[in-house]
Amino acid sequence: MGNTFSQGFPPKPIFTVEQIPELTGQVMIVTEGIPELGKKLVKLVSSITGALAPSQASHLANFASIRKAVEEFKSKETELHVLFNNAGVMVPPVEQRTTEGYDLQFGTNVLGHYLFTTLLLPMLIHTAKNSPLAHGHARVINTSSSAVYHVPKGGIIWETLGIDASSVQACKTLGTHKLYYQSKLGNVLFSNELARRYASQGIISSSLNPGNLQTDLVRHLNWFVVGLLGFFLHPASYGALTQLWSGTTVDGESHSGKFLIPWDRVGTLGHIAMIKSLLKGYGIG
């Protein structure tokens, strides 16, 4: 609870958009599932630096849509310098599933971004190795949440990740909030594993809590909770700061495998070490 509270009231930002370096010619993608934050991110990168920042609005709850979006992007571009995995859903009705039948939150927040990123990984690696603008690396910035501090005991409840009737029931038993928490842990674990496996090929991968923001992400919460949260929410533009700090600056080159917190600071996830030890029992990591 302490981390969640302190990150809800972060100190004044040190990084500002005026500090973004020259990025003209670099190619970036922002998955825009959190509309206000995604649009702010695209606008800031594009208008301030002149960098190309196309937004891939593919439906991340549909694998076919993801593959189509990647093919369309690859037909237009040969390089990708930065991928901002920004899309997400939070606490929808627990009955909602992806097109393939997975829990909507894990399916969108984790599996969708996993597929999107791995399909683009060859282009990211190619860019890191061959683009004169890349300086030897390409970046993947993964949006998580302070919810990662509240994951269920054991980390990820594997019984909820299937598509059969027993998995649907396991999701109902766990509840939509804990399903969200474990999906945000999934973002961190994926980001860290991406950093570990592909660092030697120039991939920098970080995860972050963008902060408590005024976005449509809270639309599934009841009106009373939304009203209370109003006292603790920051403008969506603030959420772009930590992403841009990690995705565009020299500082970001040291962020691989790290978890960042509002605003533009490196945080800690001490309990993740315990969770990673549990995952090894499943042959992961």
pLDDT digits (tens, 9 = 90+) for 118-141: 999 999 999 999 999 999 999 999
Name the one residue in this structure whose structure tokens are 């190309």.
Answer: 52
Q: Which is catalytic among the residues 149, 180, 181, 238?
A: 180
Catalytic residue, candidates 184, 205, 206, 246:
184
Residue with tokens 């315990």: 274
Report pLDDT for 126. 99
Per residue in 38-92, pLDDT (tens digit) is 566 666 666 555 555 555 556 899 999 999 989 988 998 999 999 999 888 989 9
Residue range 147-186, pLDDT digits in tens: 998 888 878 999 999 999 999 999 999 999 999 999 999 9
Query: Which has the higher per-residue pLDDT, 229 or 31?
Result: 31
CB 247, CB 205: distance < 8 Å: no
Instruction: Extract the tokens encoding 184.
Output: 């945000």
Maximum average pLDDT range among 25-29, 106-110, 275-279: 106-110
The pLDDT value given to residue 235: 75
* Residue tagged active-site, from 131, 144, 145, 256: 144
Q: What is the dihedral of CA 134, 136, 242, 80, to 10 degrees?
A: 50
Per-residue buried b or exposed e for 119-150, using 16+ beta carbons within 10 Å of the residue's own CB: bbbebbbbbbeebeebeebbbbbbbbbbbbbb
Residues facing 52 on adjacent strands = 27
What is the DSSP-derived secondary structure letter of residue 257? T
Query: Is residue 258 flagged as an active site residue?
Result: no
Q: pLDDT (tens digit, 9 = 90+) per residue, 196-238?
A: 999 999 999 999 999 876 555 545 555 445 555 555 665 777 8
pLDDT of residue 5: 64
User: 2-280: CATH homologous superfamily?
Assistant: NAD(P)-binding Rossmann-like Domain (3.40.50.720)
Strand ranges, E, within 150-256: 203-208
- 3-class DSSP assignment, residue 213: strand
Question: What is the 3 state secondary structure string of 102-121?
Answer: CEHHHHHHHHHHHHHHHHHH
| Max intra-chain CA distance, the chain | 52
Joined tokens for residue 161: 């990740």
**From CA 92, how far away is CA 44, in angstroms rounded?**
29
Catalytic: 58?
no
What are the boundaries of each domain within the chain?
A: 2-280
Of the pLDDT bands very low, low, confident and very high (cuts 50, 70, 90), residue 3 is confident
Q: Active-site residue 180, yes or no? A: yes
Closest CA relative to residue 275, chosen from 285, 262, 267: 285
Global pTM reads 0.88
